[in-house]
Amino acid sequence: AQSVTQPDIHITVSEGASLELRCNYSYGATPYLFWYVQSPGQGLQLLLKYFSGDTLVQGIKGFEAEFKRSQSSFNLRKPSVHWSDAAEYFCAVDAYSGGSNYKLTFGKGTLLTVNP
């Protein structure tokens, strides 16, 4: 079964600093990969996704992520963090789970705090 690991439960950065959130997945084939963001009290918003092709994908709000097959990773990056980026970030893998189902499996999330 597929799984997703986000090693960092909580990260604190200063506004303007660069950011990298780590994500590792376990799956036998190339999965579909996603990053979602959840602001306090809000639902989940899709930041970006990887299905195939170019391994560096661009998303909304200035985020990007790089798929590295050899490392089974899909790390999220942003060159300069804004205070409004403070939120919880979830990495997810959509992979075949039997029958006709493709299941979205989430990591446990990384909480980002941004200091002024």
Partner 1 sequence: EAQVTQNPRYLITVTGKKLTVTCSQNMNHEYMSWYRQDPGLGLRQIYYSMNVEVTDKGDVPEGYKVSRKEKRNFPLILESPSPNQTSLYFCASSPTAQLTQYFGPGTRLLVL
Q: How far lies 92's CA from each of 8, 89, 111, in Å?
A: 15, 10, 15
What is the Rg, in whole angstroms, of the alpha carbon atoms belonging to the chain? Answer: 14
Q: How far is residue 104's CA from residue 18's CA, in Å, rounded to a whole number?
A: 28
Min separation Cβ 86 and partner 1, Å: 17
How would you class 28 by CB atoms within 10 Å of its CB: exposed for 0-12, middle for 13-18, buried for 19 or more?
Answer: exposed
Taking CB under 8 A as the binding criterion, the range among 18-26, 60-68, 75-83, 91-99 that sits at the site for partner 1 is 91-99
Residue 52 contacts partner 1 per CB under 8 A = no
Site string for partner 1, 10-49 (x = CB under 8 A): ----------------------x-x-x-----xxxxx--x
Min separation Cβ 9 and partner 1, Å: 8
Residue 90 contacts partner 1 per CB under 8 A = yes
Residue 50 contacts partner 1 per CB under 8 A = no
Contacts of 111 (CB under 8 A, 6+ apart): 9, 10, 11, 87, 88, 89
Instruction: Confirm if 113 and 12 have CB atoms less than 8 A apart.
Output: yes
Residue 109 contacts partner 1 per CB under 8 A = yes
Residues binding partner 1 (CB under 8 A): 9, 32, 34, 36, 42-46, 49, 90, 92, 94, 99-109
